[in-house]
Every structure is written in C-alpha cells, then in structure tokens.
Amino acid sequence: MTLPLVDMPAKDDPGPGLARLVAAGPLVRMRVPLVGPMTFATTHAACEAILKDEALFSTEVAHGRNRRIAWLLRLMPRNVRTMTESMLQKDGAEHRRLRATVDGAFRRQAVAAWEPRIEAIAAGMLEDWAASEDGDFMRHVARPLPLAVICEILGLPREDRPAFTRWMAALAEGGSPRGLPRLYLSLTRMNRYLMARFAERRAAPGDDLISVLVHAAEGGAGLSDDEVLAMLGLLFIAGHETTTHLVAGSALTLLRHPAERARLAADPSLSGTAVEELLRHVGAVEMTKPRYLTRDAEVFGVPMKRGQAIMAHLAAANRDPGAFENPHCLDLARRPNRHLAFGGGPHFCLGAWLAKAELGAVLRLLLARAPGYALAVPEADLAWTGQSGIRSLRTLPLTPTPRRGM
Ligand code: HEM
C-alpha cells in the first residue's frame, strides 16, 4: 500500500491544508526539509493511539533506521548530541527516572504559586510594548516572557538574560544548514554557562530548580552531568519557541476573530476555555518528535518495518471533524476540548500548566489594557518563518489602539 504524499499546510492560513491532511489520513507522507519523506499520523484517534503505545512506538533515536537522521546525528558535535539524550528521547523506566526529577516543579499547584510573578513579568513587558516605537509584540512580549519565566524558576540572574536571548535565537535558526555553525557555538557557550551555575548551587544550594537538579544528581536519581545538561537544554528549548509562538499566534488569532475577542474581553471567566481553544486552533507546535517502530507491525492497515518513523501531526489532529464539532471554527467557550496540542501518553508536555499560565496572563492583561489592539501593518505584510514543526511569525507589529485608515 502506498501512502498519499501530501503538501505541508500553509503557515498563514493552515485550515485548508490541515483539512486535506485529516481527509487523506490516518497516515500520510510529507517531505520534511533535511530529513526527506516522512510518515505522519493525521487523525485525532491515530495520533492519540501512537503517542500512548510506548511498547510499539519508541522515542529513542537508536530504534530508528532512517539513514539521513543517523547521518545527521553522526555529524553533530558531542554537545549537540547530548541534547538527544534528554527524557524526550527515552522510553519506559529511564524516561520516568528523568522526568521524576523535575515533575514536581511543573505540577498545577507549583505553577499556581508562580502565577502572580508571571503576571507581574508579563505586565512589565506589555508596558514596554505599548511604549515602544516598533510595537513588535513578538520582540517585547512573546519572545522574552517564556525565557524570563524559566530563568526565574531555574534561579538564573536577570542580567544573564540577554546572553540567553542570543543563544536561543541561534538555536531557533539551527534547523537550517546556514544556522548550524551558530547553533554549535551557542550551545557550547550555553552548556559552559549552565555547568558553572550548577557547580555554584552544588556549593551553596538555594530553593530554585537548578538546586533541585543538583539534589537529584547527588541523591537517588543519580543524574550525570550530561543528563543535567540535556535536562536544562530541554527545558529551554521545549519551553521557549513553543510558548512564544502560542502567545503571538493567539494575539493574531484573536485579531482575526473580532467577535470572539470581544466575547472574551466582556467575560474574563472564559479565560480557561479560551486558553485551551487557542492551543487547539493556533497549532503552534505542529507535530511531535518521531516515534520509531520497535517491531514489524501493521499500523492502521499499513505494513511497517521495525525502525520506521511516524510523527503525530498534532495541528491536523486538532482540526479532525471526528473529534471536534466545527473544527475550523474558533469557539472560546468550547467544551469538551480534548485537543492534542501538548501531545499525549508518557511524553505529554511537562510544561503544559506553565504555558497555559503564561498565555492566560498575557490575554488577561492585553484585553484589559488594550482591548482594541490592532495590526500596525497590512496583514499581507506579516512574515512567517518556513521552519517545519512550528508555526512561527518573524515579527508581530501591533498598536494598542487601531490606527486611522487601517
Ligand atoms: C505552547 C507551549 C507548549 C507546547 C504547545 C508544547 C508542546 C509539547 C509537546 C507536543 C510535547 C510532546 C512531544 C512529543 O511527544 O514528541 C512536549 C513535551 C515536552 N515539553 Fe512542551 N510545550 C509547550 C511548552 C512547554 C514549556 C513551557 C515547557 C517547560 C518549561 C515544556 C517542556 C516540555 C518537556 C520537558 C517535554 C518532554 C516531556 C517528556 O519527554 O516526558 N513545554 N511539549
């Protein structure tokens, strides 16, 4: 059986492309830059089943047999390869051992204690945005917020944030051949910096997350230095671009749906369902990491070989009419809403509560202080990056109040 080869959905208006993916599913093939043709699950039921079945679908790269991925990994310097050793690339007991070291810091209650601080940080950034000349919501709010929050949780000093901003920008561009040298260099510098902070906390522990990891390294979990680096790298990488593009994509989506924006501004009690619906509709994280078959098996009627890879196309699953009524419609009061924006199964996003708290704070403040915010440029001028896997705007110029003539 040959799977249909489908085009990637457009970034600016993904609805029609996502509808095509679901209709051609449950499994399709798409070309991924650098990697080549890849199999994707595109329906809600197929994505959920694959993500939950850890026995058949492994996240460990060693199970893969895609020669291009193996070749790309061999080319990587050690510091980049360390990142492929994070919990996201481990199964079973090994995954649970690593996840247990940081789980407590990201539970609902732990995140709730951070909410006033998140709100204060977001409020300062919204003031900067409103007073800025360029009005770039991406630069003043969506990019710095997740970085500031995770730096505070880890206990990293404020004055070191500009360096992190540079390193993170290099990591975000690292997916392209031109960006690779900068990525290597930035990762080396970031790792050196993080190991120095780790050594400091070893000597004098505090109540921050780095001290928790020091304790895990020296206590029962026995984390190695490489595992600590992979963990910290994962927290920065998994939590940064994802939240940035959820926040920016949500601000734009509300602009494109004025009636829903007015509904939320008039009724802040919708905030909880609004955050879930924006996660579903914006589709910032388009797909999961690959899952490799641990044995030959028939997957949704398609015979597949051990080592073959499948990725769950979460943005498509979130527009599946089999799982959501009027899937392309934005309904900020939608209930139930079993979206898969954070994935599913054992690798369900660790930072889900944190990401929701950050988006919730930005929406509350934005709609209270600038309910009539508007685009500062014609919509056709908005530039999306071509990055695969993440639906990302380059900039988002907004004005707190509508401009005359726009
Ligand atoms: C809009 C925001 C976010 C979205 C949409 C998102 C989405 C996801 C998804 C889909 C996965 C599963 C990947 C897979 O199964 O291959 C994941 C895993 C993960 N996310 Fe997030 N994420 C977000 C924010 C965050 C934040 C703020 C953090 C932490 C600071 C974080 C940390 C992680 C970690 C550590 C994992 C791996 C969990 C594991 O392997 O057990 N994420 N995320």
Quick one: which atom of ligand 1 is closest to the CA of 88? 40
For ligand 1, atom 35, name the residue with the nearest CA: 350
Whole-number pLDDT of residue 318: 98
**Mean of pLDDT values over 55-76:** 75
Q: Is the CB of 341 under 6 A from ligand 1?
A: yes
- DSSP code, position 374: E
Q: Is the CB of 49 under 6 A from ligand 1?
A: no
Can you tell me the distance from the alpha carbon of 244 to that of 73, in angstroms, rounded to the nearest whole number? 27
DSSP 266-329: H-GGGHHHHHHHHHHHH-SB-B---EEESS-EEETTEEE-TT-EEEEBHHHHTT-TTTSSSTTS
Q: Is the CB of 362 under 6 A from ligand 1?
A: no
For ligand 1, atom 34, name the residue with the nearest CA: 350
Whole-number pLDDT of residue 66: 63
Q: For residue 304, list its beta bridge partners.
A: 297
Whole-number pLDDT of residue 175: 61
Whole-number pLDDT of residue 2: 83
Whole-number pLDDT of residue 127: 97
Quick one: which atom of ligand 1 is closest to the CA of 285? 5
Q: Is the CB of 126 under 6 A from ligand 1?
A: no
Per the model's pLDDT, the better-predicted residue between 74 and 170 turns out to be 170
Query: Does position 78 have pLDDT exceeding 80, yes or no?
Result: no
Q: Output the CA 206–ligand 1 centroid distance in Å.
A: 26
- Write the pLDDT tens digit of every residue in 11-42: 999 999 999 999 999 999 999 877 788 999 99
Q: Output the CA 238–ligand 1 centroid distance in Å.
A: 5
- State the CB neighbour count (10 A cutoff) for residue 76: 16
Quick one: which atom of ligand 1 is closest to the CA of 359? 1
- Write the pLDDT tens digit of every residue in 311-334: 999 999 999 999 999 999 999 999
Whole-number pLDDT of residue 393: 97
Q: Which two tokens stand for residue 109?
A: 């209650």
Q: What rounded mean pLDDT belongs to the chain? A: 92
Q: Is the CB of 354 under 6 A from ligand 1?
A: yes
Query: Does position 225 have pLDDT exceeding 90, yes or no?
Result: no
Q: Output the CA 266–ligand 1 centroid distance in Å.
A: 31
Mutate to test the pocket of ligand 1, among 99, 342, 391 (most ligand atoms within 8 A of CB): 342
Can you tell me the distance from the alpha carbon of 5 to that of 149, in angstroms, rounded to the nearest whole number? 40
Q: Is the CB of 345 under 6 A from ligand 1?
A: no
Q: How big is the CA angle at 130 (ends 127 and 135), to the nearest 5 degrees?
A: 130
- Banded model confidence at residue 75, pLDDT cuts 50, 70, 90: low
Whole-number pLDDT of residue 173: 74
Domain spanning 15-399 has what CATH number?
Answer: 1.10.630.10
Whole-number pLDDT of residue 63: 73
**Mean of pLDDT values over 357-379:** 97
Whole-number pLDDT of residue 322: 98
Q: Is the CB of 29 under 6 A from ligand 1?
A: no
The residues spanned by each domain of the chain are 15-399
| Torsion angles phi and psi, residue 404, rounded to 5 | -60, 140
DSSP 194-240: HHHHHHHHHHS--SSHHHHHHHHHHSTT---HHHHHHHHHHHHHHHH
What pTM was computed for the model?
Answer: 0.95
For ligand 1, atom 30, name the residue with the nearest CA: 239
Per the model's pLDDT, the better-predicted residue between 182 and 94 turns out to be 94
Q: Is the CB of 398 under 6 A from ligand 1?
A: no
